[in-house]
Structures are given as structure tokens and as C-alpha cells.
Chains A and B, each alone.
Chain A
Amino acid sequence: MSRRWMGIVVAFVALSAGALGLPKVAAAQDAVAEWSEPTSPDSPERFALELRFGPYTPDTQDTAFDKVFGGSSLLIAGEFDVAPFRIADVLTLGIGGGIGYVSYSGVASTLDGTTTSEKTSLTLAPMNVLAVVRVIALPRLLSIPLVFTGKLGLDLVYWSSSTGSAQQGEGVSPGLRWAVQGALELDFFEPRAARALDDEWGINHSFLFFELYGSSAGGSSLPVGTPLGWATGLGFNF
């Protein structure tokens, strides 16, 4: 992980924690006691929304990508999950759909390799449909605010490449996608605010997460998947 991305992650976590009252360390003892009780025992958690970002470098199986674009770029994505099945306070099972965007820009060259002034770009828009399993036993039964999630499904990545003002090609690369996620529920830090959020907006829990994922998107089209990538972000259960 490069220092730049580490900086982004640290800044994001700090901002999120600050917004949720993390600095109020003095109230932590009380908070633990309050959080131990279910926020709303009768409140089902049917939906989840995740907003994530992270560096993304497609495994294009060539040397041109690094030469032209120089490496990763920021992938911004969103995912919405519906979890109709639930085993008490142990896990939820459902499906989710996500969409994201990432773009790369570099300098085009001539056929003999001389650098020109013109830009060339590659844009990716991954879309996926996933089966989602969330293990909620730790926070619900043991008061440990960690949720682990597994995802598996189909990835469909729209890609487009242009040089100057001319589009050079576009296509859709299908593949499989997997992900594992560890999430820290933020209710722990400010239970009153979490309860108010539930009362006013129906949001049961908010969480910070870190996700590892992989995609085999490619097929006969441009390989734009990645064997291993990561993202971090903010999520909500409601």
C-alpha cells in the first residue's frame, strides 16, 4: 500500500470518527454499558448501503497500462444490499448490487514511441450483483462491534478508451467477483447519536469497513479485473 493511499485511509477514518464523536473518549465507559443493550430489539435490518473508495489497478495482462497510466487511480463505488433472510442475532443473508467509476489518464505516444502532447484515457465502470452474508453475532451477542461479511457474484465492467478526442474502443468485460469485509460498528462510540439516527432516519447502525476483493472481469474483452484489491468506506444498516 503506497504512502499516498495510507494517507487517504487515515484521513477518511479520522474524519468519520470525528464526525461521530470519537474524540469523546471520556464518555467511553458509559457508552460501553449503553451499547451492550440492543439499540432496538424489534428493529429488523433489511437493507445496507455502502460507499467505498480505494486504489484500483486492473490486471490488464500487458505492460502498456503501467507505462501509459503509471499505476492505480481512485475507484469510487456504491453498493446497496437487501437482506430478507436472517438467523436471529447470528447472520443475515441477501443480495446486493453495486456500481463504481474509475478513470485513468496518460500521455499518448507516436508509433515509434516518441511522447506526444495528446492524452489517452481508460475509463472503467464496474457493475456487480452479489450474494451477501453478514455475520452479526459478535456485536449482537458478545458486544464486540465487529461485523464480518462475505460476498460472491457476477462482475460486469464497462470500459472505454480514447486518445485525444477520438474514442479508440469500448466494451463490456464479464467475470466473477468475491469480497470479504471487516466492519467496525460506530454505535459503540456514540450510542445516543446512533439511537437518534435510528429514531429520526431509521438507520440502525453505521460502520466503517475495510474490504478485500477480487474480480476476473475480462473474458474475450479487455481484462480489467484484479486478483486482489482493497477499498475502505462508510456503510449504513437500515
Chain B
Amino acid sequence: MLRVVPNMARHVSTALAVLSGSLALLTFASVGHAQLTVTVNAVQDRDVSTRPLTSPYLFSKVECDGAKELDLTIAGIPTGSSVLDFWSGTGCDQVEPRTSTTSSACTYLFSLTSFSTPSAQFWGGEVTVPDLGGCTTTADNTSVNIYILAATSEHTSETITSFAQLATAFDVVAPAPPTGVTGGSGSSAVPVSWTGTTGTVNGYRVYVGSVTSSAEGGACSAGGLVAGEAPPASATLAATASGTAGSVNLNLATLGLAIGDSVSVGVVARDTALNEGVLSNLSCVTRVETCGYLCQRGGTISTCSAVPGARRAGGAVGAALAGLMLVGLGMRVRRSRSVR
């Protein structure tokens, strides 16, 4: 028993040492990782009212092609960090995927070496949308997971002191155009309809070309629009339709058409990243003087000056009827229950 005690003490001290070492490692791991926070403050030229900056951050073809600048804030950078490495892929906070020569799970993107600690803002072209590596994808709406690693040496570092993830998606494939666009004739609400396209479409934009006046014969010319191509800068955005809507009404008077004028109309689809596709087939709308029911009926009709009052009276009558009905029913229910 006496011989056992010293051994036990030695074992206990060894176990405590191992335990304390493990705790130290755990503490390092918990302190050293996932402390960075990254915030996308803005994307150059983006209207956040139509495309809010929420995770996953969705980038469009226009933002890729235009190399739009990002405004990032990275906080929690450990003191002594000399580099912020950007990687894309899976598990890039681990050493192995980054250093592997056989796996392509992680791809090095770029590094930032000039920053302050513990918080730094990057803007003015330091980071652009193409830098994030998703602009070369060909699939529609591709998710790209970005790792931002704080380290003490650039790129080659095997150990990191902290990291953050940034969920992004790249939609660089514009939707196909709708088909079967048809126009018509009228004045203040001329229907333009089409057959919707598939994919991540969230709306349509209806463009008109330049007006062909009735003096030119009224026949519809393309007016600068070309089916299968992007709308030219000279085209006028006449209307928008959200969701999967397949028609809009155009007010030709407000588009500047006189009676007898015609204009070509084409429709493009937009996806959730607001990528615009190419123009559909072109159709024609013509402004004519329309004659509705009252016009066709003819004659003189008194349009009573009491109309606003009648409208209010109608609403009041409806409300009074509903109120009376409820009161009556309430009285009757109360009476029924009191009888029971």
C-alpha cells in the first residue's frame, strides 16, 4: 500500500499535467479560432433597397464584370497578425486542406497585409467582387464559402491565429428571355403579355424602342431594339413586372405616343441577383383613340354631383348593416343563453 501511494501520486501528477496541457490547447483553440468577424458594409453601385446586404451575399454578373469594389470591416484581428489570407472552399481553417498538394478543397485567393488591429476597414478597391473567386463560375447561382484567416506570415502559414467565414453566392448567368411577347392597340392601358422563362427569375422589364410616328406611316419599326441582344441605352424602360407575372399594361400616352404612333416592345427577364437577360421577340403597340362602353353608348348622362357622397353613403350603409347584424346577433345570443 505504501509502495503504491508514491506511484499513484506520480500518476496523478502526470494525469494533471496532461489534463492541464489539454486545457491549454483547448483554450488556445477556443481563443485562437473563429474570433474574426467580417461585415460587408457596401458594394459599389448597389442599391441596397432592392438588393440588401444579407448573408449569403449574392453578387451579380454586372458586379463581377465591373469589378465592383467591396467595403469590408474585419474585427477581432489578433494583435501581431501580419496578414489576412482569403481562401475559398471547405474546411479552410484547417491546415491540411490548405497545404495539400493533392486536394483542391481550398483555393488561395489573395492576402491583405496592410491593416490595423484589432479592427480594419477595407475599401477603395482593396477588395473587389472578382477577388472573391466566384466570378468564373458558369453554373447559375453558385455558393462560395470564403475563409478569412489571420496569420503571422503570408499564405504559407500553417498555423493561424483566428479566422472568419463569409457566405457568398455568385449568379453570373443571366436568365433566358421570355417568349411569345404580344402587344396590341389602345391608349392608357394596353396589355403586353408574354410566356415566362424558367430559372431564378424574379421579374421582367419591358422596354420600348424609339417611336414611329403616324406621319411615318405608323408601321412599327424596331426602334433600336434587337431580339436576342441586351436593350440598348436608347431604349426606354416602360414597365416592370415582379415575380412570375406575364403581363403589364402600358400607358402609351405617358410614353409620349400620339394617336396613330407605334413603338416596338421587348421584354427581358431578371433573376434574383438582378442580372438582366437579352430581349425577347419584339412586338408592336400602337396608340389609338379608344371608345369604351359609355362612348359607344352615346347620349348624355347625368353624372350626379352627389357621387362622392353616395360612395361614402354606400360605405356607411355597408358598415351599418354589418354593425346592426352583429348587434342583433349578439343580443339574440345573449338572450338565448340567459333563457337556458
User: A23 on the interface (CB 8 Å rule)?
Assistant: no
User: A238 on the interface (CB 8 Å rule)?
Assistant: yes
CB 8 Å contact bits of A213-238 with B (1 = contact, 0 = none): 00000011110000000000000001
Given contacts A110-B289, A116-B290, A162-B292, contact A156 B297 (CB under 8 A): no
Contact B301 A60 (CB under 8 A): no
Interface of chain B residues 290 through 327 with chain A (CB within 8 A): 290-299, 301-304, 306-307, 310-311, 313-314, 317-318, 320-321, 324-325
Partner of B333, one of A109, A165, A201: A201
Neighbouring A residues of B185 by C-beta, 8 Å: 110, 116-118
User: A161 on the interface (CB 8 Å rule)?
Assistant: yes
A20 CB to closest chain B CB (Å) equals 19
Contact B189 A170 (CB under 8 A): no
A168 CB to closest chain B CB (Å) equals 5
Neighbouring B residues of A21 by C-beta, 8 Å: none
Contact B324 A82 (CB under 8 A): yes
User: B188 on the interface (CB 8 Å rule)?
Assistant: yes
User: A158 on the interface (CB 8 Å rule)?
Assistant: yes
Contact A161 B329 (CB under 8 A): no
Neighbouring A residues of B187 by C-beta, 8 Å: 118, 163-164, 166
Neighbouring B residues of A238 by C-beta, 8 Å: 328-329, 332
Neighbouring B residues of A98 by C-beta, 8 Å: 321
Given contacts A99-B321, A158-B314, contact A171 B301 (CB under 8 A): yes
B248 CB to closest chain A CB (Å) equals 12
Contact A99 B318 (CB under 8 A): yes
Top 4 closest A-B pairs, CB basis? A117-B184, A163-B292, A202-B332, A118-B186
Q: Given A79-B321, A108-B290, 13 more contacts at CB 8 Å? A: A43-B336, A47-B332, A62-B298, A68-B293, A80-B325, A82-B324, A108-B291, A109-B291, A118-B188, A156-B313, A164-B186, A164-B251, A201-B333
17 A-B contacts (beta carbon < 8 Å): A60-B297, A64-B296, A80-B324, A117-B185, A156-B310, A158-B307, A164-B186, A164-B249, A168-B294, A169-B301, A169-B303, A201-B329, A202-B334, A202-B335, A203-B329, A221-B302, A238-B332
